[in-house]
Structure 1
């Protein structure tokens, strides 16, 4: 082989070595860059972060759904409670309406009962002529009392009882050796109550 060919081979070998060194250096630089910047590792880290992010999003969505479900459950419970309260109030109002439906009628009926009682008290029970009429009035009075009693109307006749301002209306106070102080001595007019509600207080006289 000639010197010229040897020289060419040496130059080609040197060039090849230089190129190899360049490739090695570039590869090393790329490796360094990857190591420093974390591009390659970053891809793995980014994938993990994406996965973690997805999991976090799913957990957040689940928590939001559970919160929304709990709110809906609370709303349903409140709605049921409101409906139940409304049902109770309605039943109570209907019950009151049934109990006191005849309140106005009872008020207007009381003077009739009073007049029948006055007629019975004023009649001469020993008079044979009056007796049949008196019996008729007494039967009429009893019928009235039976009917109103069945509908919750009850008389207030507090002779000898302690004065109660919620049930009695004192028109005067009198000296009475037979009664203790604040006791009802005379009932001038009976009172009446309808299912526990006073329709008319009893008109009374009270001992001093």
Structure 2
């Protein structure tokens, strides 16, 4: 074959390949109806995703509002049980006070009533983890005690609590009120 014949053969081969590629491209190109179906499918998926987004957002908003409401109620009614328990202590104190109004009151019975009321109050406080700090005879602890004065003493080691002026309390291990105490110091 001559060079011209080779060139002509290559051109005809490339034309055949190009025409085959055009036919494939035409056969792969979707028709208008297929495009409409694809568009409708895409719109349906987009609508579904939008609906899921809106529902998820509404659910998150509802959860947030419910959580805020529950937190507000927890703050508002946190002491409800404690107050309910304290009412029996108040009732007992009112009964004791009304016993004083009667002319022939027995002091022994009044003392017994006051002791029972104090025990009732102590039980209520223990039920709610309010613990009394009674440091008498123990080393002074500035975390739990407040020193009112120092007393020179030689019968106890220095920095020992010798007198409790006012007891302290903790609530669930956290200091509510320090114990007011008198602390020993070495005799000069």
Q: TM-score range by the shorter chain?
A: 0.3 to 0.5
TM-score by length of 1: 0.43
TM-score by length of 2: 0.47
- The structure with more helix, counted as a fraction of residues: 1
Question: Which protein is bigger by CA-based radius of gyration?
Answer: 1
